[in-house]
Amino acid sequence: MKCTLWLAVGLLVAGPLAAEPFSEEDLAVARELREAALAGDGGYEIVADLTTRIGPRLAGSEADARAVEWAVQMFEGMGFDRVWTEPATFPTWHRGLERTEIVSPARHELVTLALGFSPATPKGGIEAEVAMFEDLAALQEADPAEVADRIVFIRNRMERTRTGAGYGRAVGARSVGSRVAAEKGALALVIRSIGTSNNRFAHTGMQRFDSDVRLLPAVAISNPDADLLERLMAGDEPVRIQVEVDAETVESYTSQNVFAEITGSGKPGEIVAIGAHLDSWDVGTGAIDDGAGVAIVTEAARLIGNLDRRPDRSIRVILFAAEEIGLWGGRAWVRAREAQMDKYQFVAESDFGAGRAYAISARVSDAAWPVIAAIQEELEPLGIELGERSASGGPDFSPALRYGVAAVDLEQDGTEYFDYHHTVNDTLDKIEPDALAQNAAAYAVLAWLGAQAPMGFGSGRTILEEESTD
């Protein structure tokens, strides 16, 4: 019902063209791609290979370089028209050991991971009384006298949601907790892991990093360990804790964004860009984050590349470098293309695990929205409904939003994603092959029909002008 309504609106806004934007032949190809993706296991083979032969691939590590090699070889083997790399340079960080122990009033060793860019403590660690805060806001409002010479513990718990919205609400404790605690004279930071599991795994992750801001040694502890610490804090006795971190920040490393293209037959200069990030955290094997995304977009493009027909526009797969430690690959990509955003039909990144996609949302011009509605009709058999008229395109493409790039989000069920995210437990068995194939099918339909669409989606000035008059 919703679709019919949008098509009717489209007729009024954009003329008869929008009512049937795709030829029967293009729709038949979309259906063929959808069924081929659902029937195959090409995506699963890709993520199995990446997680097995490469494994964890922290940006700037030796495995990062091997992953770039792996991706280039994979794309070349698949017969893409063009395969190339572009550099991205960034500071990086290496984990040594980490240890968190409650020393009084009862002794407990806690399951711990240091946070990205945590500096090292002196050997033997730092020991101090704990100052506990409800969340980042409470720490920000705290009198420095409550914080100075203490180890700060931020206890906020991430809420489980299908959309993953709980992550955004909780993650500030991790991304800026250490710098806020440092300004108030704290000695170290301990956070409850930003994750939803009640299993005893700690979740690492990024802290916002600028070379001129002082960070404290910072660690995340598992949810059950955070519960334990809270119970002790509720007692009358002061709680003392010891934190030890050994880690090293590296000033500069250059990795590569990896590109593969199916060159369009009609409008080769116009580009549909689908992406994922190739790097991962250094724990687990980066299966759901973001081996799944690598597999989904690669398999979608591989199936399109196998067709007898070329798409009208070019389709580009981009595997970004160094997403986890600060979107460095995405930022390098946009820096090289600020003036060319109007050449992008749209961008879409898969970076939310392998849960089923349930909605398509898009940031496109008013005139192009009926085309998105028509694409959704071909996604309907996959259980994907029409979503919002806004989209970010995913983390690596997000730096391009301010240049008005059109973006599409295939929104995935993230109910369980944050049980495993950034933990040693992010491994291949967490991926359900059928759900991965459903995503590959959705990306194949989206990329194909996006490349065949009768109109541009409005990247560049059109979107910015329409947004400014909203």
Give the C-alpha separation, 195 to 160, whole Å: 8
Give the C-alpha separation, 434 to 172, whole Å: 34
8-state DSSP, 433:
H
Contacts of 435 (CB under 8 A, 6+ apart): 354, 355, 356
CA distances from 304 to 64, 126, 263, 324, 341 (A): 28, 56, 11, 29, 24
Residue 459, classed as helix, strand or coil, is coil
Residue 83 Cβ vs Zn ion, minimum distance, rounded to whole Å: 23
409 touches Zn ion by CB under 5 A: no
Instruction: Label each residue of 26-67 as H, E or C.
Output: HHHHHHHHHHHHHHCCHHHHHHHHHHHHHCCCCCCCHHHHHH
Residue 267, classed as helix, strand or coil, is strand
Residue 178 Cβ vs Zn ion, minimum distance, rounded to whole Å: 21
Binding mask 133-162 for Zn ion (x = CB under 5 A): ------------------------------
Taking contact as CB under 5 A, which single stretch among the options 99-107, 158-166, 210-218, 346-354 is the one that binds Zn ion? 346-354
Complex with Zn ion: residue 282 or 289, whichever CB lies closer: 289
Q: Is 144 exposed, middle or buried (0-12, 13-18, 19+ CB in 10 A)?
A: exposed
Binding mask 418-457 for Zn ion (x = CB under 5 A): ----------------------------------------
Complex with Zn ion: residue 244 or 290, whichever CB lies closer: 290
Residue 307 Cβ vs Zn ion, minimum distance, rounded to whole Å: 29
Contacts of 228 (CB under 8 A, 6+ apart): 102, 108, 110
C-alpha 326, offset from chain centre: 11
Complex with Zn ion: residue 205 or 370, whichever CB lies closer: 205
Complex with Zn ion: residue 289 or 416, whichever CB lies closer: 289
Residue 279 Cβ vs Zn ion, minimum distance, rounded to whole Å: 9
Complex with Zn ion: residue 312 or 351, whichever CB lies closer: 351
CA distances from 127 to 19, 147, 187, 219 (A): 68, 14, 9, 14
Tell me which of 26, 270, 342, 351 binds Zn ion, using CB under 5 A: 351
Complex with Zn ion: residue 51 or 452, whichever CB lies closer: 51
Give the C-alpha separation, 470 to 467, whole Å: 5
Residues 237-296 interacting with Zn ion (rule: CB under 5 A) = 289-290
Residue 68 Cβ vs Zn ion, minimum distance, rounded to whole Å: 17
Complex with Zn ion: residue 289 or 378, whichever CB lies closer: 289
Taking contact as CB under 5 A, which single stretch among the options 83-91, 139-147, 299-307, 350-358 is the one that binds Zn ion? 350-358
Residue 128 Cβ vs Zn ion, minimum distance, rounded to whole Å: 34
Complex with Zn ion: residue 278 or 300, whichever CB lies closer: 278
Residue 198 Cβ vs Zn ion, minimum distance, rounded to whole Å: 23
Q: What are residue 59's phi and psi, to 5 degrees?
A: -55, 130
Residue type, 330: G
Q: How many residues bind Zn ion (CB under 5 A)?
A: 3
Residue 323 Cβ vs Zn ion, minimum distance, rounded to whole Å: 6
Task: Catalog residues that contact Zn ion under the rule CB under 5 A.
Answer: 289-290, 351
